[in-house]
Amino acid sequence: MPHKTAISTEMTRCIEQCLACYTTCQQTALQHCLELGGDHVEPGHFRLMLDCAEVCRASAALMINGSPYHTEQCRLCAQICRACAASCAELDDMEDCVQACERCAESCEAMAAQGPQAGKARHRGAAARTQ
């Protein structure tokens, strides 16, 4: 199966991180945050967790399909994961979610850096650092 073995180790790892982040964000939101209530169901925070779960599923899906557009999807995924990690870090008992989001973001940023717009991505990263 020459085609299948061509799937890079890095992409296989990124698919796993996306599915793990989806699992952790969705499960934590529905089985932990909902039970705790209070800040944990603040609409902005809660929606961000489900947005993160959704975009992780989409990134995994495009990589699994072998889509050339996966780099752009991974770029957006990393952006949402970073925001979700920051939102979770402000709450108690969300360490698992913070970690899953950060690992997924790193992996997606590495995929995005291989994309056709990698130069622009680096530029955006530079701009973000100087803000």
| Chain residues 57-96 in contact with a copy of itself, contact rule CB under 8 A | 57-58, 60-62, 64-67, 69, 72-73, 76, 79-80, 93, 96
Should residue 100 be labelled a site residue for a copy of itself when binding is judged by CB under 8 A? no
Should residue 3 be labelled a site residue for a copy of itself when binding is judged by CB under 8 A? yes
CB of 94 to a copy of itself, least distance (A): 9
Q: Which residue lies nearer to a copy of itself by CB, 48 or 101?
A: 48
Should residue 4 be labelled a site residue for a copy of itself when binding is judged by CB under 8 A? yes
Q: HEC states along 27-92?
A: HHHHHHHHHHCHHHHCHHHHHHHHHHHHHHHHHHHHHHHCCCCHHHHHHHHHHHHHHHHHHHHCCC
State the maximum Cα–Cα separation within the chain, in Å, rounded to a whole number: 52
The whole-angstrom separation of Cα 114 and Cα 91 is: 34
Q: Which residue lies nearer to a copy of itself by CB, 11 or 102?
A: 11
